[in-house]
Amino acid sequence: MPSPAPTLSRSVSLHLQGDWGTANLHRVCGWIAQELTDRAGPHTRVAIWNGRGGADAARAVGRGQVDIALTTPAAFAAAALDGRGPYAGEPFPDLCALGVLPQRDRLVVGVDRSLGIGSFAELRAAKPRLRLATAQHDGTNLVGWAAHEVLTRSGVDVEGWGGRPFADERPFDTFERITSGEADAVVHEAVMLPHWQRFGADLAFLPVERDVLDGLEADYGWPSATVEEGHFPGCPRFETLDFSDFIVLTRSDLPGDVAHLIAWILGETRATIEAQYRHLPPERSPLTYPLDPVAIGRSPIPLHPGAVRYYETLEAA
């Protein structure tokens, strides 16, 4: 049985932050905004600010610029609590979560098969002049930050080897560099998107070495994961950096009844957001459905006490 629908008798004004405007984080913000407005006072207003879905989300929440923001991958949010990695020098100890929405994703490193390279050891030995497409390493784009960490810790020096790096904000620009032949190597995520099926057979995906993965987990709390055999055309199973899940961030000073209502929305109105992805197979969807309310309540950072109230009702059921 669904838990009783909570409501707010008063009107509230909330500021949410998503992505550039047309991707998944903005879509989730719209879902939350609609369902919350339906259950709050008549003068409730919810604004959705454009963002980048990276380290800017934790910063905007932590600095009090917005009430709620979404970022991915979820595990990277743990570094924001005590100011590690991209959050160095500006910790956000009051950061907490309202829930985590599943997106099974990985950061992968691929090089053109014509180079004859199948491992980082072979890459270091060959030192090819790579034309490598990835995201911006600007301290905010978490794809670019993670790619830099993986490559640097793996001993890859694209420019030092005479190659050329390309840095883009959005994945589609990066993918276009591969499909057009402008780039012959890529480091990126969003591995469920159909673009990878178009050019994946032309790439050899390099397993990230265990010492690199262990170092990233020890230093930042970033976990590793596997890409299963056949996920990319003709590709064997390999290990790489996990890049999963959307986390809904807030601060501990968000009113408890608002936090409880939003957690309830995530768990109990999930069919509303699932319907927007059901035209895709779950394993190829940017949101991995069906959503499990219990799993939504499993967060790499502390949950807001108001959200805990909702998730505890699931455990008691």
The tens digit of pLDDT for each residue in 162-201 reads 999 999 999 999 999 999 999 999 999 999 999 999 999 9
* Per-residue H/E/C for 220-278: HCCCEEEECCCCCCCCCCEEEEECCCEEEEEECCCCHHHHHHHHHHHHHCHHHHHCCCC
Q: How confident is the model at residue 2 (pLDDT cuts 50, 70, 90)?
A: low
Cα–Cα distance measured from residue 262 to residue 158, given in angstroms and rounded to the nearest whole number: 45
Q: How confident is the model at residue 4 (pLDDT cuts 50, 70, 90)?
A: confident
Q: Which amino acid is at 177?
A: R
Residue 315 clears pLDDT 90, i.e. is over it: no
Higher-pLDDT residue of 107 and 4 is 107
Question: In sequence order, what are the beta bridge partners of 239?
Answer: 226
Q: Where are the domains of the chain?
A: 13-103+244-316, 106-242
Give the pLDDT score at 199. 96
Compute φ and ψ for 84, nearest 5 degrees.
-105, 160
Cα–Cα distance measured from residue 246 to residue 73, given in angstroms and rounded to the nearest whole number: 6
Residue 5 clears pLDDT 90, i.e. is over it: no
Superfamily covering domain 13-103+244-316: Periplasmic binding protein-like II (3.40.190.10)
Contact 47, 16 (CB under 8 A): yes
Give the pLDDT score at 3. 66
Compute φ and ψ for 99, nearest 5 degrees.
165, 170
- The mean per-residue pLDDT over the stretch 6-24 comes to 97
- The mean per-residue pLDDT over the stretch 234-258 comes to 98
Q: How confident is the model at residue 61 (pLDDT cuts 50, 70, 90)?
A: very high
Place of tokens 């455990």: 315
The answer to whether the 13-103+244-316 and 106-242 domains have the same CATH topology is: yes
Q: Which helix (H) or strand (E) holds 217?
A: helix 210-220
Cis peptide bond upstream of 282, omega within 30: no
Average pLDDT score over the chain: 97
Residue 70 clears pLDDT 70, i.e. is over it: yes
CATH T-level topology, domain 106-242: D-Maltodextrin-Binding Protein; domain 2 (3.40.190)
CB within 8 A of 253, min separation 6: which ones?
Answer: 94
Copy the structure tokens of residue 138.
């600007």
pLDDT tens digit sequence for 102-130: 999 999 999 999 999 999 999 999 999 99
Residue 96 clears pLDDT 90, i.e. is over it: yes
Residue 305 clears pLDDT 70, i.e. is over it: yes
